[in-house]
Amino acid sequence: MARGKKRRPVSDINVVPYIDVMLVLLVIFMVTAPLLVQRVEVDLPVKKADPLLAEDNPPIVIAILPEGLYNLYSGGEPESLDAQSAALRAVALQRLQPERSVLVQGDKRVPYGSVVELMAQLEQLGVSRVGLVTLAPPGGG
């Protein structure tokens, strides 16, 4: 009976499956990371906000109506515009007077997405100060 060499147990770890898993995880993280950073920056108040006082430079207000119309208030008569035109007009007005802020006033019945889209458009066009118009809670609290 011919005997071959006696086989010894191999004590090395096969790392190929681990490398495959790491590459798959790397691809997943590379695809999902850009999706996590797309957001609209909003500075939320820490305390009850004081009402705006009458000032020399009143804010530029874009009101979103339930019918899908956009009204721009810049100190005179309101202008009825579409979303893109309202954003462009607000940017032009703010560039003329950089100390003016732009406020978005959305009706309760307006879809939240319309408000966010307008704020994103304003941010992309370079508006530095964007805020939301709200009503004071009942009782002033």
What is the model's pLDDT at position 48?
Answer: 57
Tell me, what amino acid is at 42?
A: V
DSSP string computed for 31-90 = HHHHHHS--------SSPPPPPPP-SSPPEEEEEPTTS-EEEESSSS-EEE-HHHHHHHH
What residue numbers bound the domain in which 110 lies? 60-135
- Segment 47-66, tens digit of pLDDT: 455 555 555 678 888 888 88
Tokens 């732009």 identify what position? Answer: 102
Q: Considering its fold, how many domains does the chain have in total? A: 1
Does residue 84 contact residue 118 with C-beta atoms inside 8 Å?
Answer: no
Residue scoring higher pLDDT (56 or 80): 80
CATH classification of the domain holding 123: 3.30.420.270
Residue scoring higher pLDDT (34 or 118): 118
Q: Is residue 17 part of a domain?
A: no
What is the model's pLDDT at position 50?
Answer: 57
Q: Is residue 31 part of a domain?
A: no
Output the CA–CA distances (angstroms, integers) from residue 23 to 12, 15, 27, in the order listed: 21, 12, 6
Does residue 99 contact residue 93 with C-beta atoms inside 8 Å?
Answer: no
- Segment 104-139, tens digit of pLDDT: 888 878 888 888 889 888 888 888 778 887 766 666
Q: Is residue 5 part of a domain?
A: no
Q: Determine the straight-line distance between the first and last CA of the chain, rounded to whole angstroms.
A: 98
